[in-house]
A and B are shown apart, each in its own frame.
Chain A
Amino acid sequence: MDLLISLVINGLATGMLIFLLAAGLTLIFGLMDVLNFAHGGLFVWGAYTGVLTYTYTESFIIGILVAILTGVVLGFIMEKLIITPVYGNHVQQILITLGFMLVLQEMIKVAFGPNAIPVKVPELLAGSWELGELIIIKYRIFIIVVGFLVFGIFHFILTRTKIGLIVRAGVMNKEMVQALGINIKKVFLFVFMTGAALAAIGGMLMAPYSGSIYAEMGMEFAILGFIVVVIGGMGSFSGSLLAAILVGLAGSFMAYYVPFLSLAVNMILMAVVLIFRPQGLFRTAKE
């Protein structure tokens, strides 16, 4: 039972980190019809800038804020320079965002050096609780709480506010939204920047969890993010939460019981979903 609980906590924590990445991806794809292969680059930039500020100022909060700022700024630059020229052309979008991913990843190595940087857990969240035999690492609980908090906030914004209404309407039919006199381009930019900021927060939270950060982790996590987006169904916000938890749990259980399959289980999950249910597990086929 203890084992089961700690496996579940591990899985949930990883799932939440992936969710932060996948949430931005799925909104961007659903609304703008852009598949952003550079999302992992935003993730890793958030991690680096956040961690460096955090080690410099000793304040985790400031680190997170800097990470968010980086995400927003990079998102703005990227939407204006990279995405705008290629609206409506999928092949070019895939190619150009992949190129930008390369640039972002190499820029990390130029700016911060190619070696992995060690990160320590902030003092308040370090250590663990012991409940009898069961050991719960505080930081993992923190990630899970933050993940659900982010989900709650965004779910509230999406379902209860006017801007959420516009975004949801845009995901369904953006021409119609534009015809109703809403500047959909501005909404695009806003969503893109929010998605980038979410990815950056994900990177920053990821850093103390894994203990070190390195330039290639962007691509590794981006692949997990894509897998989640595919499983959850493109454009479905709550679908990506469920899918992220599924992927996280599958990863943590497989790592314990069938270590050989642990690296492959997500790929297999995605392949099966794509072949039999291309619209995603948690999305009813409407088109």
Chain B
Amino acid sequence: MKTSNLVSKYNILFFIILIVLIAFPFVADSRTLTILLTQIFIFSILAMSYDILLGYTGIVSFGHAMFFGIGAYATAIMLNTFEATIPVFIGSILLGILLSALVSFFVGLLTLRLKSHFFAMLTLAISGLLLVVAEKWRTVTKGNDGFTFRAPDIFKDRIVFYFCVLACLVIVFLLLRRFVQSPLGRVLIAVRENEQRTRSLGFKTLHYKVISSVVAGVVASLAGSLYAVSLRFVNTSVMTIDITLDALLMTIIGGVGTLIGPIVGSVVIEFAQHYLSGLARDFPIFERWIIFFGIIYILAVVFFPKGIVGSIQQALTKWKMKRANNRTFALQKDKERSS
């Protein structure tokens, strides 16, 4: 009874936020803010996909940028070689997803049997390898210089693209929520909590970890495709460790192990990045805004390992328990008085 109540309360909140976001471009006529929000949505998708690995399955991957990059390059190259139309765009997203699924499947199969720190290093190395390939394979990727391409005409209007990305975000959010609440998602959480015990209960944990890595890779590739179209430009920076670090920071600061956390994290980080680099004109120290994030991130890992959303949830449950306790206490007192 109580949980269903809670869920519907959350749903109402989501609904309100969604309506605000839909109404936003019509109310506020700010081009910069629309672009910033689009960027936030794209990185929310990326951070959510990363959280499937980090928050739900408990694997640290340093190679997440490669899936983002695969998506970005698939879209950019296809839109560049064929006509820039919507069917080609959708086809390129599907191509990116297919490639990411294949890569993440084989990489996962090879690497996920290793211990956490080996896995982290190996993913770092493999994504480094892919970065080198992207830099050297100049006939296709144009290397570090990158290339511009034409986006489908309909996306010339920033607002249309805004809605397109928002729709993707909502769909991905709902699908991932369904995914983590499914029995399969439960097994992933069990793997995170205690892998050996899960294995001894008869689950083939490697299979589940591979599934998790494929899902994360596919979603990240979608984010990459959208990112490429939003810039109408692609170069090898989409594959660098910086992208992985962004996803990592957003997930940790927002809250691991929740799907809203990464979204909150990407809102906080993108906004802060935007405004802090604006402040840099007056205070040069803000040009290095990443220091503040690094410090906040370290503090978050030590003191608030659950991030913003997780800490709020924790505080809420504590507060509710306290209130419930007080109520029973008061009831007891009343009883004593009446007797």
A is bound by B: yes
Please, which residues of chain B bring their CB within 8 A of the CB of A260?
Answer: 136
Nearest B-chain residue to A220, judged by Cβ: B128
Check B60 against A94 for contact (C-beta < 8 Å).
yes
Q: Is A92 an interface residue (CB 8 A)?
A: yes
CB distance from B23 to the nearest CB of A (A): 37
Interface string of A67-90 (1 = CB under 8 A from B): 000000000000000100110001
Nearest B-chain residue to A33, judged by Cβ: B117
Check A230 against B294 for contact (C-beta < 8 Å).
no
Complex formed: what's the CA distance from A78 to B121 in Å? 21
Complex formed: what's the CA distance from A21 to B301 in Å? 26
Check B60 against A107 for contact (C-beta < 8 Å).
no
CB distance from B112 to the nearest CB of A (A): 11
Nearest B-chain residue to A229, judged by Cβ: B121
Q: Is A176 an interface residue (CB 8 A)?
A: no
Q: Is B125 an interface residue (CB 8 A)?
A: yes
Check B128 against A106 for contact (C-beta < 8 Å).
no
Check A106 against B291 for contact (C-beta < 8 Å).
yes
Please, which residues of chain B bring their CB within 8 A of the CB of A86?
Answer: 301-302
Check B302 against A85 for contact (C-beta < 8 Å).
yes
Nearest B-chain residue to A81, judged by Cβ: B298
Please, which residues of chain B bring their CB within 8 A of the CB of A90?
Answer: 115-117
Complex formed: what's the CA distance from A103 to B294 in Å? 5
How many A-B contacts are there with CB distance less than 8 Å?
Answer: 95
Of A46-54, A180-188, A261-269, which binds chain B?
A261-269
Complex formed: what's the CA distance from A5 to B126 in Å? 32
Residue B290 contacts which of A93, A102, A270, A271 (CB distance < 8 angstroms)?
A102
Q: Looking at chain B, what size class is its interface with the partner chain?
A: 35 or more
Also in contact, A103 and B241, with CB within 8 A (given A35-B117, A271-B125): no
Interface hits, B47-83 → A, CB 8 Å: 58, 60, 62
Check A267 against B126 for contact (C-beta < 8 Å).
yes
Which applies to chain A's interface (DSSP): helix, strand, loop or mixed? Answer: helix
Please, which residues of chain A bring their CB within 8 A of the CB of B116?
Answer: 90-91, 94
Complex formed: what's the CA distance from A96 to B136 in Å? 33
Check B125 against A103 for contact (C-beta < 8 Å).
no
CB distance from B36 to the nearest CB of A (A): 23
Please, which residues of chain A bring their CB within 8 A of the CB of B111?
Answer: 274-275
Complex formed: what's the CA distance from A264 to B110 in Å? 18
Q: Is B22 an interface residue (CB 8 A)?
A: no
Complex formed: what's the CA distance from A204 to B123 in Å? 29
Please, which residues of chain B bring their CB within 8 A of the CB of A230?
Answer: 118, 121
Q: Is A8 an interface residue (CB 8 A)?
A: no
Residue A267 contacts which of B58, B117, B129, B293 (CB distance < 8 angstroms)?
B129
Check B295 against A226 for contact (C-beta < 8 Å).
no
Check A227 against B288 for contact (C-beta < 8 Å).
no
Nearest B-chain residue to A104, judged by Cβ: B294
Q: Looking at chain A, what size class is its interface with the partner chain?
A: 35 or more
Interface hits, A232-287 → B, CB 8 Å: 260, 263-264, 266-268, 270-271, 274-275, 278
Which applies to chain B's interface (DSSP): helix, strand, loop or mixed? Answer: helix
Please, which residues of chain A bring their CB within 8 A of the CB of B124?
Answer: 223, 226
Complex formed: what's the CA distance from A82 to B295 in Å? 11
Please, which residues of chain B bring their CB within 8 A of the CB of A206?
Answer: none
Complex formed: what's the CA distance from A267 to B110 in Å? 14
Check A106 against B117 for contact (C-beta < 8 Å).
no
Please, which residues of chain A bring their CB within 8 A of the CB of B285?
Answer: 110
Check B298 against A274 for contact (C-beta < 8 Å).
no
Q: Is B263 an interface residue (CB 8 A)?
A: no
Complex formed: what's the CA distance from A85 to B299 in Å? 11
Please, which residues of chain B bring their CB within 8 A of the CB of A211?
Answer: none
Check B121 against A100 for contact (C-beta < 8 Å).
no
Complex formed: what's the CA distance from A263 to B125 in Å? 11
Q: Is A137 an interface residue (CB 8 A)?
A: no
Q: Is A98 an interface residue (CB 8 A)?
A: yes
Q: Is B305 an interface residue (CB 8 A)?
A: yes
Q: Is B245 an interface residue (CB 8 A)?
A: yes
Nearest A-chain residue to B245, judged by Cβ: A102
Complex formed: what's the CA distance from A134 to B97 in Å? 53
Q: Is B21 an interface residue (CB 8 A)?
A: no
Also in contact, A223 and B128, with CB within 8 A (given A91-B60, A95-B248, A98-B248): yes
A contact residues vs B (CB 8 Å cutoff): 35, 82, 85-86, 90-96, 98-100, 102-103, 106-107, 109-110, 219, 223, 226-227, 230, 260, 263-264, 266-268, 270-271, 274-275, 278
A-B contact pairs, 21 of them (CB 8 A): A86-B302, A91-B60, A92-B305, A96-B302, A99-B297, A100-B294, A100-B298, A102-B291, A106-B291, A107-B291, A223-B124, A223-B128, A226-B124, A263-B132, A264-B133, A270-B121, A270-B122, A270-B125, A271-B110, A274-B118, A274-B121
B contact residues vs A (CB 8 Å cutoff): 58, 60, 62, 110-111, 114-118, 120-122, 124-126, 128-129, 132-133, 136, 241, 245, 248, 252, 285, 288, 290-291, 293-295, 297-298, 301-302, 305
